Amino acid sequence: MKDMKQILAILGLVLMSIQGVMAQTGKEWDDPNISSVNRELAHALPVPDGYSISLDGTWKFKWVGTPSKAPTDVFGEDYNDMAWDNIEVPSSWQMWGLHNGKSWDKPLYCNVAYPFSYNNSTYSVMADRPGWFTYKNDMTNPVGTYRRTFDIPAEWDGRDVYVRFNGVGHGYYLWINGKRIGYSEDSYTPGEFRITDYVKTGQNTIALQVYRFTSGSFLECQDYWRLTGIQRHCMVWSAPKTQIRDFFFSTDFDNDYVNATANLEVKVAGVDKSKYTLKATILDGGAEVVSQTMDVPVNGQMKMAINVTKPKQWSAETPNLYDLRLALIDEAGKEQDVRVDCVGFKEVSIRSDNALLINGKRMVFHGVNRHDISPVNGRALTDEEIENDIKTMKRLNINAVRTSHYPNDPYFYKMCDKHGIYVLAEANVECHANTGLSSVEVFRKPMSERSANMVRWLRNRPCIFMWSMGNESGGGNNFQSSRDSIKALDKTRLVHYEGNSGYADVNSNMYPGLGTVSWMASQGKPYIVCENSHSMGNSMGNVREYFNLYESKPALTGEFIWDFKDQGILTKYNGKEYWAYGGDFGDNPNDGNFCINGLVMPDLSITAKTYNTKKIYQPVDFKMNDNGTIQLKSKLSFATTDYLDMDITLMAEGEEVSRMTITEPLQPEEVRTVTYEIPDGMDPSVEYFVHFSARLKHATEWAEA
């Protein structure tokens, strides 16, 4: 009997080995049943300080037009790639090729279309293309192969090693030293692999093979430039064998929003976990606020409830951040693993009148939709470009962003935490060209997986107030699975999906008339206009009327303008630079200039629409009453106007006649009436104007005074 058990055990190992081999057929990219192979479960972003190596920089690159021509024997250490092109990472290969004279595929812009054909039963993306498509014949589905080397330091010996790519589109295989590790889809959510068993101290070779179209492309039919490549930062990092694998920080205020409980969930992975303790410390400017220590249980799953007295709240107006420091301590009292992250005290709720509240205050969002786009580098934004976007928003009184329609670069959320922007965080799900896919069972797992992975990676970000399951993908029951996956991971935030979805915690739709907005105020949920005021051409003339409504009814929570920045691509024609749009590169199908509809131009220069938005979104409203008095209304929920210089000035022929300064700051949400004394001796033949102004008293990180 013992021999039989041994035989069965050996047979089981053999079968597992065969299954592992079969799991990587090289055809996963064209199979909607498979969205990843050997990819690590998503988790909190921070890694141990001093144990990461950037993979950004120059890689070797080989482009081919079809998968059948993709190289198959070029992933080992001994392969000579000197004849290959150089490419900078991160980059979109279409943009890199455009700027460097390569004959690769070019940028393609379309809104509601797949730029590929597919089989209606198997969903293979390799069906025959129409003759007018760009991607056809010998360029049906380009594949880019990347190679480079990196060094593992000796002090990493005995540690687990991982590689992380923050964004690669639209599906890729990974090799380390010639061994195929796995496969990953989802262009805008990090993918991570454990590579401990495949690396060695000293030089190692890493290779990726990236596919232009995959089964994941069905869920990435957004209104944007369709670009490909290693488009965000990437790195190798290491952690101890017994490590802090994940954590989730959330907060719960008392009824008066004075004191709070910091709820902390931590997962410790590895061996002998019960021999460790975990110390959690909350710090403010380096000074300890509170700490708590707990023995790690055998299963490694831990929960802490830490009472915090009078924490400073995080909001877009008062973006107060604390440092959370987690230390895993061994029996000798030595810290073996440390993770540090910025956290904030913020609570999202719904009031009985269906007002959406943050920290107990009703919200009216002054929002915009934002694509992660650079006019020079496509989907590969620099940190400076991302922060400049956010600083520009702050200068325009924008307080909220919908990440249309996919997770943005992780650095974006960090900057929203820092500068103060509310984020409606959207999953990378849009099957606009075939919305029926949201009812097709084979797409249920990848849809819900994309929502879950977004939450796992980003749920510690204070700026995020609501999760969105995607965009313009119909109303299929796959969204029930997506909702369930989000709620299983985070019950502290609301769930959104457009189309007034029954799967969402809020009502939401796009471009409603004023009558519809008024009616939605009484439909039993908070109502958020996730897209509105389409800012294309000479538009946005009645935005003030919408905000009059939003401000008047509790359940109305404002809107997100479509969209923030023109998606023009900087290129040249006859030696002259201009902003290109769909069709300018011979790209088909395309939607022409429909990508040029931003509040600001591609280089962030401003337009008349910019000024209009800044005026409507201003933090203080001024109104002349019929009796000659002036009403001041603060639209701030948390901050006073102490940071502003506010003046009322009488002007004649461009010259100042008199000035009144508001010396006492307005309290949050305060409405005040003041009397402005008109000076004697005014000339009835002269036209006079009363100017109201509110200016920064002091320079900030996002604007000069």
The per-residue pLDDT for range 121-174, each reduced to its tens digit, is 999 999 999 999 999 999 999 999 999 999 999 999 999 999 999 999 899 999
State the average pLDDT over residues 591-613.
95
Q: What local confidence, expressed as pLDDT, does residue 424 receive?
A: 98
State the average pLDDT over residues 351-355.
98
Q: What's the rounded Cα separation, in Å, for the pair 334 and 328?
A: 8
> Could you tell me what percent of the chain has a pLDDT over 90?
93
Looking at the predicted structure, is the pLDDT value of residue 8 above 80? Answer: no
Q: What token pair was written down for 72? A: 């198959």
The label of the residue with tokens 């079968």 reads: 15
State the average pLDDT over residues 564-588.
95
Q: What's the rounded Cα separation, in Å, for the pair 598 and 484?
A: 34
State pLDDT tens for residues 25-68: 999 999 999 999 999 999 999 999 999 999 999 999 999 999 99
Q: What is the length of the chain?
A: 705
Residue of 220 and 14 predicted with greater confidence: 220
Residue 85 has, within 13 A of its CA and on its CB side, a CA count of: 18
Q: What local confidence, expressed as pLDDT, does residue 23 receive?
A: 56
Q: What's the rounded Cα separation, in Å, for the pair 189 and 171?
A: 12
Residue partners of 510: CB distance under 8 A and separation at least 6 = 498, 529, 530, 531, 532, 562
Looking at the predicted structure, is the pLDDT value of residue 243 above 60? Answer: yes
The label of the residue with tokens 């809020």 reads: 506
Q: What token pair was written down for 75? A: 């992933």
Write the burial class of residue 284 (CB in 10 Å: 0-12 exposed, 13-18 middle, 19+ buried). middle
Looking at the predicted structure, is the pLDDT value of residue 507 above 70? Answer: yes
pLDDT-derived band at 676 (thresholds 50, 70, 90) equals: confident
Q: What local confidence, expressed as pLDDT, does residue 413 receive?
A: 98
Q: What's the rounded Cα separation, in Å, for the pair 665 and 634?
A: 10
| Identity at 295, one-letter amino acid code | D
Q: What's the rounded Cα separation, in Å, for the pair 311 and 288?
A: 12
Looking at the predicted structure, is the pLDDT value of residue 418 above 70? Answer: yes
State the average pLDDT over residues 514-524.
97
Residue partners of 451: CB distance under 8 A and separation at least 6 = 427, 429, 467, 469, 470, 482, 485, 486
Looking at the predicted structure, is the pLDDT value of residue 319 above 80? Answer: yes
Cα-based torsion angle of the residue sequence 580, 581, 587, 591 in order, rounded to the nearest 10 degrees: -170
State the Cα angle at 419 between 413 and 421, rounded to 5°: 60
State the average pLDDT over residues 177-198.
98
Q: What's the rounded Cα separation, in Å, for the pair 40 and 193?
A: 5
State the Cα angle at 460 between 703 and 265, rounded to 5°: 155
Looking at the predicted structure, is the pLDDT value of residue 205 above 60? Answer: yes
Q: What's the rounded Cα separation, in Å, for the pair 558 and 579?
A: 31
For 140, other C-beta atoms within 10 Å of its C-beta total 21
Q: What local confidence, expressed as pLDDT, does residue 627 receive?
A: 86
Q: What's the rounded Cα separation, in Å, for the pair 531 and 569?
A: 23
Q: What local confidence, expressed as pLDDT, does residue 7 receive?
A: 39
How far, in Å, are 35, 193, 383, 672 from residue 38 at the CA level?
Answer: 10, 7, 30, 61
Catalytic residues: 472, 531
State pLDDT tens for residues 269-314: 999 999 999 999 999 999 999 999 999 999 999 999 999 999 999 9
Q: What's the rounded Cα separation, in Å, for the pair 485 and 493?
A: 13
State the average pLDDT over residues 368-373.
97
Nearest CA among 74, 72, 99, 69 for reference residue 87? 99
What is the average pLDDT score of the chain? Answer: 95
State the Cα angle at 537 between 534 and 538, rounded to 5°: 95
pLDDT-derived band at 705 (thresholds 50, 70, 90) equals: confident
Looking at the predicted structure, is the pLDDT value of residue 19 above 70? Answer: no
Q: What local confidence, expressed as pLDDT, does residue 677 receive?
A: 85
pLDDT-derived band at 2 (thresholds 50, 70, 90) equals: very low
